[in-house]
Structure 1
Amino acid sequence: MNLQKPRRRMKLKQRKKYGKEGTAMKKAMMKIKASLTNNVGIKVIAVVIAALIWLMIVNISDPEKTVIIYNIPINVTHEEVITDMNMVYDSDKNATVNITVSGKRSVVSKLSAEDFTATASLKELSKVNAIPVQVSAVQNYIGRKITIEKQSKQTLEVSIEQVKKQNYSVSVEYNGSPEEGYVAGGYTLSKNMVTVKAPESLLDKIDRVVARCDIDGENEDFTTKSRLYVYDKYDNILKSDKIKLSSKRVSVSVTILNEKQVPIETPSVGTPETGYHVGKVTVSPENITLIGKKEVLDTVEKLVISDTINISGKTTDTVEKINIRKYLPEGTDIGQGETDVISVVIKINKLVSKKFTINTDKIAIDGLNNSYEMAFVSKNINVELQGKDDVIKKITLNDIGASINLNNYKEGTETVNVSVTLPDGATLVNDVRVRVKISKKK
């Protein structure tokens, strides 16, 4: 059976079918080509108009805008340019710059000072000590979308100064107070000197370097690390990162002592001019606070001024100043806030005198030989006494005794010394004599 003839017929039918479809496709493509190639100018204008309409829509919804960004901090860079020459610079640490920025509203409306950096490089320092200020966006993509139209500050002024150094002795200041009954005594430092390095203008202001040590509530010796502070002459602490100390802290060993208040003994006083006497002697202050170890203070009951105050030739009240340090017991010192000079006020008064007339029959006779007898040539003797007013006022004749000693005297008229006994505090102004007549008994 021959099967090939039907197959050929099918192929022929398929060719006729697909031939018709291909012809239709070709005709459609020709129409499209004709529509694209005909009226080209009109179509180009349409595209341009569409683009302009799109741009108008975009600009209406996101137009150009100009804003001002305030207070962008200015950072100084490349400090080593100055420091490597042993110099320092100073500028306004709070310096800022304002900038005017333009760009799309969607971009610039969101900007703030944090989106920008302002730098001033010391590499670009001018002869007039000014540095150009450069402002840029932190993010590059922002920088590409905006324009910095202007900035409020073009340069940053700086001052340049030489750095110098100087040595200072370290002193100690205490904070607080030890436990009651105790006081801070001496101290020792691990370093007595420090080197301060600073700009010349700051170095000239430095008065002293102090280690501040906390002693609050202490009752025994201790050692601590204390921070160093730099003071000016007005007692203000100088704070600057440009002040460099060779050591920031030192070791301080503090001695804690006991304290005890004792009276000051009234010193002995010499003799004033003749005819005057020492009245009341007062010491100011009357008491002094001593510091020292407890075992030493327990042996001290008073402060003794061992030297006699010389007032020879003095006729009026006098004040003597005495430095008591030389009289301090060994192992003690003067308490904090106490004076080391005391005042001794010495009252000097004029002596008063009083005259008494004594009948010679009141004179006791001693030493007269039994073979002799005697008689006073005069009936009275005059006695003048001298002494303090309160003593002399109280003396009466009954308080005065008189006697003569005739031992070794023989017949004749003689002037004899009278021995006068007086109350305490009274003295004779002049010697007393009396004339007597001695004769043999009949």
Structure 2
Amino acid sequence: MKKVITRNIPLKIISFLIAVLCWVMIMNISDPYITSTIDNIEVKTINTETMEQHNKRYDVESGDIISIKVRGKRSIIDGLKNTDFEAVADFKEMSMVDAVPIHVSPKQSYKYNANEIEILEQTQMMTLTLEELDKQTFRVNVRQTGEAKAGYYVTELTANPNIIEISGSKRKIAKIKDVVVEVNVEQVSNSYQVTRKLIAYDENGYIIDSDKLDFETKEVTVDVTVLPTKTIPIQVSAVGTPAYGYKCTDVVWEPKTITIAGEQKDLNNIYWLKQEIDINGKKETFPEKRNIEAILEDTYHGVYTLVGESNTFDITVKIDQLGSKDIPIRMSDIQVRNLDSDYEVIFKTLGYVNVRVRGVSGSLSEVSALTIRPYIDLSNYGLGTHSVTVQYKANEGLTIQPVTISVEVVRRE
């Protein structure tokens, strides 16, 4: 038996080695080793607080997303994804050239043994840009988008808090022009409260990446006040007396109406906005601009809010110089009114009388006895001779000197 076991030992060893080699060859053919690239692996940063401890702010120039090459059996490598690896940059290992080594390792999984995966090009670098850390406070501006429902108006948008602190690199902080929270009020008709995210803008109106900034708070609460509206007329009247020989001939203003917002009980108590304009001693036409918001505040102390972008209205007061003109009036031009049907009139004043008419110089050229329509009213006169004042039915704006004529009322034959 011993002779059988020990017989041909070299041949048996060779046969065993050939068998092992065949097994290896078969395994490499069915499940060979391959090399593959895994892309888009996010790099996790740790111990970043060391930057702030040295009053520094960092920006990642490169290395926040990396690719790696791995080697292993096809059955394992083909099933790998970027989420199967952990990449870590420890800021405590930062070099003098502001670079941090990235350490990559496969995560443990039931699908494979981490030791079966070889990571080639093990060490990669995350490059940083370091700047001095800065902190500043900014006012929060509320930006309205959309319009309230017809008949309503957003009178106030109040952010709470309305001032916040933002920290970041000096370069990033210096770029901040405006800190805004946007609120959409489309078709609203009631006051409400909403929470919105803060947005930082640069001087060109572009959004600054919030990942590069540290806000004291990421969101603020905004109180939105919505009130009903009412449209009322503006009334302007001239007060005082122009210089001697001049007359105020017209007062015009634009717009004629304004729309205001307020509590309904307050809107029920306002019907117009009255204004007076002083013309004392004026000798020429003059304009005046008035601030509607200031008038509402001074008169009603914040009860009403002006609706619309324009907060002024324009007044023009027309002042014209007066002239005079003498008009001859014949007795036949004078109309007799309210005379008893049993009587008739005999004009004792013969020929004509001169009447002095004063008015705006430009309008006097068309004034005549026909246009001023002189008449006498005899409703209270009986038989006999009387001195009667001539009256006129002239256009407004004319001042006519009173004159008297002598007439005799007689019984009609």
Pairwise TM-score range, normalised by the shorter structure? 0.5 to 0.7
Structure 1 spans left out of the alignment, 5+ residues: 1-31, 360-378, 402-418, 430-442
Identify the residue that residue 334 of structure 2 maps to in structure 1: none
Q: CA deviation at 1:210?
A: 4.4
Give yes or no for the alignment of 1:75 onto 2:75. Answer: no
SS at match of 2:274: coil
Identify the residue that residue 300 of structure 2 maps to in structure 1: 330
What is the aligned counterpart of 2:133 among 137, 149, 163? 163
TM-score, normalization: structure 2? 0.68
Q: Who wins on radius of gyration, i.e. which is larger? A: 1
Q: Aligned letter for 2:99?
A: A
Q: Aligned letter for 1:154?
A: Q
When you count strand as a share of all residues, which structure comes out higher?
2
Determine the C-alpha separation between the residues in 1 that align with 2:85 and 2:219: 41
Q: CA deviation at 1:342?
A: 1.1
* Cα pair 2:246 2:283 within 8 Å, conserved: no
What is the aligned counterpart of 2:176 among 203, 206, 227? 206
Change (3 A) 1:243 1:274: same
Determine the C-alpha separation between the residues in 1 that align with 2:116 and 2:322: 112
1:380-395 to 2 correspondence within 5 Å? 385-388=357-360, 389-390=362-363, 393-395=366-368
Structure 2 spans left out of the alignment, 5+ residues: 331-350, 376-388, 402-413
Q: Aligned letter for 1:113?
A: N
TM-score, normalization: structure 1? 0.64
What is the aligned counterpart of 1:302 among 239, 249, 272? 272
Change (3 A) 1:325 1:420: farther
* Cα pair 1:306 1:327 within 8 Å, conserved: no
Identify the residue that residue 284 of structure 1 maps to in structure 2: 254
Q: In the TM superposition, what whole-angstrom CA distance separates every residue of 1:340-359 from its partner, at most 9, and x where no partner exists?
A: 32111234445455345699
Kindly tell me the number of residue pairs found equivalent between the two proteins: 359
Identify the residue that residue 136 of structure 1 maps to in structure 2: 105
Determine the C-alpha separation between the residues in 2 that align with 1:242 and 1:147: 35
Determine the C-alpha separation between the residues in 1 that align with 2:177 and 2:94: 34
What is the aligned counterpart of 2:325 among 332, 346, 354? 354
What is the aligned counterpart of 1:264 among 234, 241, 246? 234
What is the aligned counterpart of 2:86 among 94, 97, 117? 117
Superposition CA RMSD, Å: 4.4
SS at match of 1:144: helix
* Cα pair 1:178 1:218 within 8 Å, conserved: yes
SS at match of 1:282: strand
SS at match of 1:312: coil
Determine the C-alpha separation between the residues in 2 that align with 1:108 and 1:94: 23
Q: In the TM superposition, what whole-angstrom CA distance separates every residue of 1:313-343 from its partner, at most 9, and x where no partner exists?
A: 32xx432212244543425434221533211
1:1-150 to 2 correspondence within 5 Å? 32-37=1-6, 40-91=9-60, 95-139=64-108, 142-150=113-121
Q: Aligned letter for 1:259?
A: T
Change (3 A) 1:115 1:270: same
SS at match of 2:40: strand
Q: CA deviation at 1:285?
A: 0.4
Q: In the TM superposition, what whole-angstrom CA distance separates every residue of 1:2-45 from its partner, at most 9, and x where no partner exists?
A: xxxxxxxxxxxxxxxxxxxxxxxxxxxxxx22344455445444
Determine the C-alpha separation between the residues in 2 that align with 1:156 and 1:35: 68
* Cα pair 2:200 2:210 within 8 Å, conserved: no
Determine the C-alpha separation between the residues in 2 that align with 1:280 and 1:145: 99
Determine the C-alpha separation between the residues in 2 that align with 1:177 and 1:35: 104
SS at match of 1:296: helix
Determine the C-alpha separation between the residues in 2 that align with 1:55 and 1:323: 95
Change (3 A) 1:198 1:420: farther
Q: CA deviation at 1:119?
A: 2.7
SS at match of 2:198: strand
* Cα pair 2:282 2:319 within 8 Å, conserved: no
Determine the C-alpha separation between the residues in 2 that align with 1:165 and 1:211: 20
Determine the C-alpha separation between the residues in 2 that align with 1:272 and 1:66: 101
Q: Aligned letter for 2:216?
A: S
Q: Aligned letter for 1:169?
A: R
Which piece of structure 1 moves more, 384-393 or 275-284?
Answer: 384-393
Determine the C-alpha separation between the residues in 1 that align with 2:172 and 2:157: 29
Identify the residue that residue 374 of structure 1 maps to in structure 2: none
Q: CA deviation at 1:175?
A: 5.6
Determine the C-alpha separation between the residues in 1 that align with 2:246 and 2:16: 135
Q: In the TM superposition, what whole-angstrom CA distance separates every residue of 1:112-162 from its partner, at most 9, and x where no partner exists?
A: 4344333322222222222223333334975534444447x8322222334
